[in-house]
Amino acid sequence: MRYKLFGKHTGLRVSELVLGAGNFGTRWGHGAEPDEVRRIFDAYADAGGNFIDTANGYQFGQSEEILGELLAGRRNDFVLATKFTMGTDPKAGILVTGNSRQAMVASVEASLKRLKTDRIDLYWVHMADGVTPAEEIVRGFDDLARAGKILYAGLSDFPAWRVARTATIAELRGAVPIAGLQVEHSLVERTTEHELLPAGHALGLGVVAWSPLGGGMLTGKYRQGEKGRAEGFGGKVFQAENSAQRTAILDTLIAVAAEAGVTPGEIAIAWVAAKGSLPIIGPRSLAQLESNLAAANVTLTPGQIARLDEVSAIPAIFPYTVIDDAGNRQAFTGGKFDQVDGPAGPVA
């Protein structure tokens, strides 16, 4: 396992594959029993993994509870990330859900108890609630950081314009910076590439990508009659093979995997990593973990990436239909677009 710096606002060194803990527990009716979770966790640690991602609501709090037991005696070996916004159980009330400081404080205290720790290394807003101002989120994060309850802050499932605004407010106020961005990204969910990934990279955020396997669809297992998340999570966090393009994507993925002598899942995870994100793997069994970890040893060739890019391509959206127009590019570079050496990455 290799290690990456988590964005440009931290010196945090994290493993190239993140262990997602959504399947840690069975209170959702689908997941892994504690003994299997321990085997998964230990194997991930033995492979050099050090970045754990959970949430207060995963398995109605059981995920955090199990992690609290597993981290005993080795807490400082891991970067521990959790989230707030969603309720921990179905009865969670209006004051402990959403993005408000009230919900943030109530949630962090409860998570610390379940995780049996004195700090959360990376605290995510799980998703935008559409009503809490960025200023309130920034102030809440900063208060928790100053109290020593969190070290880093991040945004998950936010619109790009809100990511930019929140990160800028934190920067201008000298508050704890927005250090991370979490998004869905895979060969069957590439709309993230329109705005979110460029924003994250341009703002220097550490970007992690959930569901790099499309909820398992990109392993090809559903073609073999397996059910997995297609039924286990009631169809949530799952991308179906429901279009001609998606069938072509999976066909190409299987072909590339056969040529490389690896599994389609390994290729799918490696493709996400090649785009500059840290893939979150979410195994439900030790066998799934071992298959996921093997992706760290896969290096795609430029030709393989090009084939996968082409078959999974999505239509451009405004304003990129204008900005990337060949004629316009020549117009705003005085006819010398092909002679200009641009920046290595997106510019904020």
What value does the CA radius of gyration of the chain take, rounded to a whole number of Å? Answer: 20
Strands 51-53 and 150-156 turn out to be unpaired
Find the helix or strand (DSSP H, E) in which 270 lies. Answer: helix 264-274
Residue type, 80: L
- Check if 222 is active-site: no
**104 half-sphere exposure, CB direction, 13 A CA radius:** 27
Angstrom distances, CA of residue 77 to CA of 29, 120, 153, 220, 289: 30, 13, 19, 34, 19
- List residues bridging with 81 in a β-sheet: 53, 122
Q: What is the dihedral of CA 12, 18, 21, 22, to 10 degrees?
A: 120
With DSSP H G I counted as helix, E B as strand and the rest as coil, what are the percentages for the chain, rounded to 5?
A: 45, 15, 40
Identified catalytic residue from 44, 58, 152, 222: 58
- Helix (H/G/I), strand (E/B), else coil: 202: helix
Strands 13-15 and 3-5 turn out to be antiparallel
Tell me the C-alpha distance between 282 and 266, whole Å: 13
Alpha-helical runs (H) found in 84-238:
101-115, 134-146, 160-173, 196-202, 229-232
315 Cβ contact partners less than 8 Å away, ≥ 6 residues apart: none
Backbone dihedral angles phi then psi of residue 130, each to the nearest 5 degrees: 80, 0
Q: Please identify every residue annotated as catalytic.
A: 58
